[in-house]
Chains A and B, each alone.
Chain A
């Protein structure tokens, strides 16, 4: 599953950043995962420990912030909460919408120890 690939990308990015600061330990990592990012948080949590074993993230505490999906209707000029990328506008019921939030897949912050 691609959640494994996602975690390996996180490990790689954190290793790069830690190297820049001469750090060898990560105390805490905060991730942001949007509801519309195509990543299942449960699958990510499930895969996390086996994937970060023997890496710089092995003992790091982690926080995963879930970001809600929001869309903008180009006809009604309103913003509304969405569960999928194809939810129609609740006012005009049309699919003339643009996703404005909820596709985030980010490393928000890390806390390094020297």
Chain B
């Protein structure tokens, strides 16, 4: 039986890249048999998650896996985009289709994982219960179940939420934010951290543009205010418009050493 890839509740202080202890200042004082110890920790609250995310990142590097973190509001089309990307009708990605893996994240139900299962791609579902975001430990646990092979292309579909997932590094290579044209051009300004922390913004449901007063240029300008390096793709998962460009983007970002 293979060893666990990731120990549960790993002690991050044992990680090779844990912060040095020497920057912790301690002063002690005693009175009435009570010892009082003041410790200048100066420690990032999310240190544990960040270290675990680095652990995930090194795992991906070692196994030459490219990992994408898909984030959006609920209903923007993350699962629909994956269905189109992973489906057998997709000729452009046929030669790399056997390397796709998916981690699905939702508060409840396995319905998204069931939609992915129909495509034949290996998938594992994380249910967070009341949790509003995925974190690095959850992804590490899911990787233990999924056991992606070398050169895998991994999609992590985060909880539908434009706020909390922005704070939690999962160890991904690229974060892709998906916004649909029914959501409003001011979304990037209302939720700046998500757009600032992403590398690609996919604008979905472009088939609905003729029926909406939606200013695509304004959306992009607002998003660029939060992140001047953000790339954009416009598409419709339901009509198929623009999907080819997404498939080509994906192929280009998987990396030359992955296209064996």
Contact = CB atoms under 8 A, between A and B. Distances in A.
Interface residues of B, number: 34
A27 B46 CA distance: 22
A85 interface: yes
B71 to A, nearest CB: 13
B54 interface: no
A2 B189 contact: no
Interface in A86-114: 86, 95-96, 105-114
Contacts of B44: 105-106
A110 B47 CA distance: 16
Given A84-B192, A112-B36, A113-B34, A5 B41 contact: no
B163 interface: yes
B134 to A, nearest CB: 11
Range, interface on chain A: 20 to 34
A6 interface: yes
A23 B42 CA distance: 19
A17 B41 contact: yes
Contact of B40 (A5, A9, A108, A114): A108
B189 A114 contact: no
Contact of B47 (A5, A13, A84, A114): A13
A21 interface: yes
Interface in A17-45: 17, 21, 23, 27, 31, 38-39
Contact of A114 (B35, B41, B167, B228): B35
B164 A1 contact: yes
B260 interface: no
A111 B36 contact: yes
A-B pairs, 4 with minimum CB distance: A2-B164, A114-B35, A86-B225, A112-B37
Interface of A: 1-2, 5-6, 9-10, 12-13, 16-17, 21, 23, 27, 31, 38-39, 84-86, 95-96, 105-114
